[in-house]
A and B are shown apart, each in its own frame.
Chain A
Amino acid sequence: MQTILVCDDDKQIVEAIDIYLTGEGFRVIKAYDGYEALELLETNQVDLMVVDVMMPGLDGIRTTLKVRETSSIPIIILSAKSEDNDKILGLNIGADDYISKPFNPLELVARVKSHLRRYTQLGNLTTQTAENVYKCGGLQINDDNKEVLVDGELIKLTPIEYNILLLLVKNAGKVFSIDEIYEQIWNEEAIGADNTVAVHIRHIREKIEINPREPRYLKVVWGVGYKIEKQ
């Protein structure tokens, strides 16, 4: 059974998260400020930590920094601040994910599961580097058997979606415009292409991303095109 440390100064929120995670079969230990969380980390075997930013005493950012000195467990930051700067700061100091309040409980659970899978199965995944396997963070495409795995979970895609994703993953970091994608996948000149490509992209995002509005892998570069974030 995996253990998750939840740390927030708001007891009701901790309680609610406890209910959700326990319901999913995790063991939850609770802390109400940064110092308490650090103490519990020392005495318990913890697999993942969810921590609030704004707490009295040691805040979430400094707690994360402290944890990172000794441990590499996944850390998800929870915060009422939703501005870009706050997210970038959180991710830069070593957090793995950032969820802004108020959050969707299901999303929180999905992210917890995803991070745990990636963290624990990382060893397995790295050994399987075959020739036609493309990897990008938790996203893995095996071109031999046309399989797409996200954090180890098999995803079902239509052939066109698969081809688009493969194109983007093969050229991770490169931005493709709608016309370029159309020409590569359909092998036709894109004259007056309708919303087809954009709709497909949206479907792919819905399938491989936990929150399609804030994608981790398939990013929209607005007004330019789409790309897979190089990781």
Chain B
Amino acid sequence: MKHEPIPIAIRKQTVIFLHLLFLCLSFAGITFIIFNPNYGRGLNWLQEEDYADTHSFSRQLEEDVDNVFRYVRYKDLLELDGDVNLDAEMFCVTFSSGNTKIYTLGEAVSYARRLGYYLNDDFEVAGGPDVHEWDSPGPSMPFLEWKTYSPEETVNYEGPGDGFVSVEELSVQVMNVLGEYYQVRYNYIDKPSNLYFRVSYVDDMGNELLYTNAGQRSNEELRELGRYLYMSGESLFVDNNLRHVPENVISLLSTNNRYGNQDYYILLAVDIDFPNPDPYAEAQANYRRFRTEYIGGAIMFLLGAAGLLITLIQMALLTGHTDGDRSRIVRHYYDELPVECLAAACLAALWLARLALNTVIPRIIRLIISSSYQDYARKMIRYILIYLILLFAFLSVLRNYKAHTLWKGSLLYRGLHRILPALSGLPVPLRFTCAFIGYLLADVCLLSGFYFLYTQRESLGIPYLYLIPLLVLAAFQVWIYLLLYRGRVENQKIAEGIFKMSAGDAGYKIDSDGFSETAERVSQALNSLSDGLETALSEQVKSERLKADLITNVSHDIKTPLTSIINYVDLLKREKISDPKIQSYLDVLDQKSQRLKTLTEDLVEASKASSGNIKLEISEIDLVELVQQAGGEFEERFAIRHLDLVSSLPDEDVLIAADGRRLWRVLENLYNNAFKYAMENSRIYVDVEKKDGYAYFTIKNVSASPLNINADELTERFVRGDVARTTEGSGLGLSIAKSLTQLQGGSFEIYIDGDLFKAQVGFPVLN
């Protein structure tokens, strides 16, 4: 089943919608993270899965330690047998009349009540009269003799007015103390709490004073509830399993010891199952919620960022395209603007956004959002605006890029196109100089632009604007570098091509991929040159081959009648003709017909060898072995002409890569040459030697007739040492030998020194 492709317009809209959605998602994620109380603590805290390990737990504990010691302080004062003792003496004042009065708790509280004070739900003092006693200061104020709830205050009076205080104030203080006492009692003792404490002092009589909310539970049981802290007066060591020890516990423990002994201890324990509703349970619940929110926010942000990236890529791919022809790029009317104008418009939009952010937007924000979030909202809106403006510009640039109008539509290009044609008429050196001066000018302009913007950065207000000319400068340098680099590479490639061609690689083609216009033209010209060369060479090879074929065919046609001639001359000779004249004629016929035979055979071989029309069977052979074999073949023939074969061969093998049979043909021709042309009763020297990685076979003999001929000419076809050509032989032997040697990759040289003939065949030695 084939699906109809979704129209591009719908895809575009979907992608844009999704992009905005992901934008919101990631900002929402960021919001969650930023407004989490744990923001700014990095990510490590997320690993602290247990509330009891957190800092906020420690803070709570520290606060509780304060409360516990407050209770320790007030309990003996306010309590009698577990109940509030209303008769407990609180303070004593002397009135201006001279009367001294001791206020009990009940009296102080009812005094305060009469004035309208009361304790609210949180055990804090509230209410009070409209006119306070201390509003009319003066000698009417009583003098404070002592107070039991903070005895240290009354020890030293320094100033003249010190010590005079209204009963109202003191009663409120008492009420406060009572409130604090109630608070601790209510939160930790009357109400079930997750915190258990036990503070023990021993008084001067040796009685143990115990302050606890743990009831009958033993210290060990308390420790097992989870987190605990134990410290005694005898030890400096704090026995605990907390992550952070509350700092106040040590000083509070010793300052609350009213007795001069060390027999005291404190045990704090927190039930980490938090079964009772109290600040711990609440804080733990909050902690878990914040943690979830933080992680959720992070995931939202990551998802949003990934989605943003994907949809951005999608947008980049889709933008400018429509249904149908992929290569047609649709540009919006504003895309027609040169890229410089777009950049300017973009900057203007950014400036406008900034203006709006400073004026209108904060007012709107203040209307909608509570003050603690206003700053953040302003920042968010700012980033979103900047992002959207840049996105818009990016897509416009991308469309122009796709339509290949980015560079061609730019003001710079248009300007250059006005100037460059005028310049192209100038001679090359002048043009080059102009280009260089232009380069310098552009650099200077950009640098001064940077300098201007940098020095004016405060007054312009757009941050980092001065980076733009700097970036353009960098891009410009990179562009110039790439131009020079390309030119260098082109030169290198062209030079390489020319060298290759001149070295004989006629088929070499310069790969002009990515070349500039000029270099492309040069390399194409060179390539067509190499084409011509290649054709010429292959034509030459072809004509050589045709020539060889012709010679082969002609020689075949000669061979058939030659067979008859040879056979019938032989038959004639068998007729036992006694006439010596006829006998000698027959000998001539016999000799010449045999010569014709070798001539045709050599002719075929020579043409094949020189045209390379021979299939070689290259293998590893031993040159010494070959020379010995050749010696065996020729020794007795040489003896016929009284030629002495003197060979000097190395003891070890000399391995070379060659076609054994063809190389034998080379040696055979050389030996035959020596056999035919060497002076009778002379010696023929044959030797093999290794030199500079080459193996050389050399044969030397003294010619019977003067060698008034150039060495090079000897290897030409049909050239023989004796110009008169009286001796037998086709005159092709040396030519064949040379061609065959060269075909196998060897060297073949002939030296003539007076009557001394020397031929040398060389092959690279195999290791």
Contact = CB atoms under 8 A, between A and B. Distances in A.
A224 B621 contact: yes
A221 B570 contact: no
Interface stretch (A118-126, A154-162, A194-202): A194-202
A102 B593 CA distance: 10
B513 interface: no
B651 interface: yes
B568 interface: yes
Contacts of A185: none
A13 interface: yes
A102 B622 contact: no
Contacts of B621: 222-224
Nearest to B622: A223
Most buried by B among A19, A102, A199, A221: A102
Given A13-B564, A105-B570, A223 B660 contact: yes
A103 B563 contact: yes
A10 B626 contact: no
Given A82-B601, A195-B635, A222-B661, A19 B563 contact: no
B623 interface: yes
Contacts of B604: 82
Interface stretch (B72-80, B141-149, B554-562): B554-562
B499 to A, nearest CB: 38
Contacts of B626: 222-223
A197 B632 CA distance: 7
Contacts of B300: none
A191 interface: yes
Interface in B543-577: 556-557, 559-560, 562-568, 570-571
Contacts of B664: 220, 222-223
A223 B622 CA distance: 5
Nearest to A78: B563
Interface string A174-196: 00011000000000000111110
A17 B663 CA distance: 36
Contact of B563 (A102, A192, A198, A223): A102
B247 interface: no
Chain A, interface residues (CB within 8 Å), range: 35 or more
B395 to A, nearest CB: 73
A221 B660 contact: yes
Most buried by B among A17, A178, A198: A198
Contacts of B630: 198
A81 interface: yes
Contacts of A101: 559-560, 562-563
Nearest to A85: B615
A26 B359 CA distance: 132
B567 A195 contact: no
B629 A102 contact: no
A223 B560 contact: no
B625 A102 contact: no
B651 A195 contact: no
Contacts of B593: 102
A19 B566 CA distance: 14
A225 interface: yes
Contacts of A13: 560, 563-564, 567
A16 interface: yes
Interface in B344-375: none
B761 to A, nearest CB: 12
Given A19-B571, A80-B556, A222-B661, A195 B631 contact: yes
B98 to A, nearest CB: 148
B632 A224 contact: no
Interface string B562-596: 11111110110000000000000000000001000
Contacts of A224: 621-622, 625, 660
Interface in A57-110: 80-82, 101-105
A192 B560 CA distance: 47
Contacts of B651: 191-192
Contacts of A20: 567
Contacts of B663: 222-223
Nearest to A100: B559
Contact of B559 (A12, A19, A102, A225): A102
Interface in B367-396: none
A202 B625 contact: no
A225 B567 contact: no
B633 interface: yes
B331 interface: no
Interface in B649-668: 649, 651, 658, 660-661, 663-664
Most buried by A among B560, B568, B630: B560
B70 interface: no
A125 B740 CA distance: 44
B636 interface: yes
A104 B597 CA distance: 11
B60 interface: no
Given A222-B660, A223-B658, A223-B663, A16 B571 contact: yes
B430 to A, nearest CB: 69
Contacts of A19: 571
Contacts of A177: 622, 625
Contact of B568 (A16, A80, A200, A220): A16
A97 to B, nearest CB: 17
Contacts of B559: 80, 101-102
B628 interface: yes
Given A10-B564, A222-B663, A223-B625, A199 B635 contact: yes
Nearest to B596: A102
B632 A102 contact: no
Contact of A195 (B568, B597, B601, B632): B632
Nearest to A81: B556
Most buried by B among A191, A197, A221: A221
Most buried by B among A54, A223, A225: A223
A45 B656 CA distance: 54
A193 B625 CA distance: 10
Contacts of A16: 564, 567-568, 571
A199 B632 contact: yes
Contacts of A12: 564, 567-568
Contacts of A221: 660
A16 B658 CA distance: 42
Interface string B654-696: 0000101101100000000000000000000000000000000
Q: Which 3 A-B pairs have the closest CB atoms?
A: A198-B632, A223-B621, A222-B660
Interface of A: 10, 12-13, 16-17, 19-20, 54, 80-82, 101-105, 177-178, 191-195, 197-202, 220-225
Given A101-B563, A102-B562, A223-B663, 14 more contacts: A16-B571, A81-B556, A82-B601, A177-B622, A177-B625, A178-B629, A194-B631, A198-B631, A220-B629, A220-B664, A222-B663, A223-B625, A223-B658, A224-B660
Interface of B: 556-557, 559-560, 562-568, 570-571, 593, 597, 601, 604, 621-623, 625-626, 628-633, 635-636, 645, 647, 649, 651, 658, 660-661, 663-664
25 contacts: A10-B564, A12-B564, A13-B564, A16-B567, A16-B568, A16-B571, A20-B567, A80-B559, A80-B560, A102-B566, A102-B567, A102-B597, A104-B566, A177-B622, A178-B629, A193-B628, A195-B628, A202-B632, A202-B636, A220-B664, A221-B660, A222-B660, A223-B623, A223-B625, A224-B625
